[in-house]
Amino acid sequence: MPKARKRSQKRGSGAIRLSDVARRVGCSASTVSRALTMPAMISEEMRARIHAAVAELGYLRNNAAGALRSRRTRTIGAVIPTLDHAIYARLVEALQNAAGENGYSLLVTTSNFDMEREWRQSRLLVERGAEGLVLVGHTHAPELMALLAGKSIPFINTYTYRPKSAQPSVGFDNRAASAQIARYLLELGHRHFGLIVGFRRNNDRVKDRIEGVIQTLAARRIEVPDAAIVEEPYNIEGGRGGLRRLLGLRPKPTAVICGSDVLAFGAVIECEERGIAVPRQLSIAGFDDLDFASHLGRGLTTVRVPAAEMGRRAAEHLMACLDGKPHATHYPLDTSLILRNSTSPPRPARTSDGGATGRKARSR
């Protein structure tokens, strides 16, 4: 046995073949190949033995040669807006896990919410061997759509669900999701609203979430003035700046709906600095249900987005397309309204003699 180990070290990792690993483990070369490329097909005990032999012998797969033989790279690409937000990290992790379990690799890049950059980054991924792409949203540059169609590259849109579109999608109806928040705040008695959202340009998710709120309020004959819809960058400072702008309105909003939890966090921080009690003086709701939404003060009312399931379904769709297996075109997912303590009924308006008017406040 020592002699064999010395021989493997002398030959170097580049000379170790798949058959050497199979011989060490006592199985077929095809079993080793499946363990390395499609691990879900092999038992956990056998995978452990194979990976131990791979580490001992220093075996490295020659993916380039395999790709030339099969004309397959088994690589999926994903272009997401940013890696700064935990909600996209959940999507990427689920993509990676689903792809890895089926012998696929994942390449990830970001667009910074820029449609032109999304097209350039997608082109780079395709040039580097990505056989399919995961995109975010429904609005993309015409050049990107032409590239994918011309190369017959499958793709799927996430964070959106448009069953009548020819573009495959996995996600949810952003209008319906934001309408959930608006209806809840209406039920609490709010009639003066403000919105802090990301930039609408080339962002169908932002547009749809605004429309969901506006349409729900309009059905109750409540109009939201343009000045009450504030566009800000998706960061804490954007939420703080957006709230400062809303506080200058007359009448001031009693409820603020934010397009993301990050913007809502910023709004809550600005309230704390100004001595505005949330929710007693101002109700604030977010969107995403990030991990720390339940730990912010007494918790943030928000919409829970199924990011991990979205990533898994997106990977499964692309792998089915690439492997020639049956697949659907659209995958609807549900969101959930998560009620916490950043929202409550509005305080009754005060008359000149100090009495309360309007809706009777609930006892607390």
Domains of the chain: 2-61 (1.10.260), 73-172+307-333 (3.40.50.2300), 174-304+339-357 (3.40.50.2300)
Would you state the pLDDT for residue 38?
76
Would you state the pLDDT for residue 182?
98
State the amino acid at position 11 in one-letter form.
R
- DSSP 3-state of 351: coil
As a whole number of angstroms, the distance between CA 87 and CA 361 comes to 36
For the chain, counts of helices (H) and of strands (E): 13, 14
Tens-place pLDDT, residues 234-288: 999 999 999 999 999 999 999 999 999 999 999 999 999 999 999 999 999 999 9
Would you state the pLDDT for residue 61?
66
CA distances from 310 to 108, 155, 160 (A): 16, 14, 10
Eight-state DSSP code of residue 199: -
As a whole number of angstroms, the distance between CA 261 and CA 57 comes to 49
- Transcribe 80-145 into DSSP letters: ES-SSSHHHHHHHHHHHHHHHHTT-EEEEEE-TT-HHHHHHHHHHHHHTT-SEEEEESS---HHHH
Would you state the pLDDT for residue 352?
43
CA atoms within 13 A on the CB side of 41: 11
Q: What is the pTM of this model?
A: 0.79
Cβ(209)–Cβ(174) below 8 Å: yes
Q: Extract the residue ranges of the chain whose pLDDT is less than 50.
A: 1-14, 64, 67-68, 351-364
Cβ(341)–Cβ(183) below 8 Å: no
E strand or H helix at 20, and its extent?
helix 18-25
Would you state the pLDDT for residue 84?
83
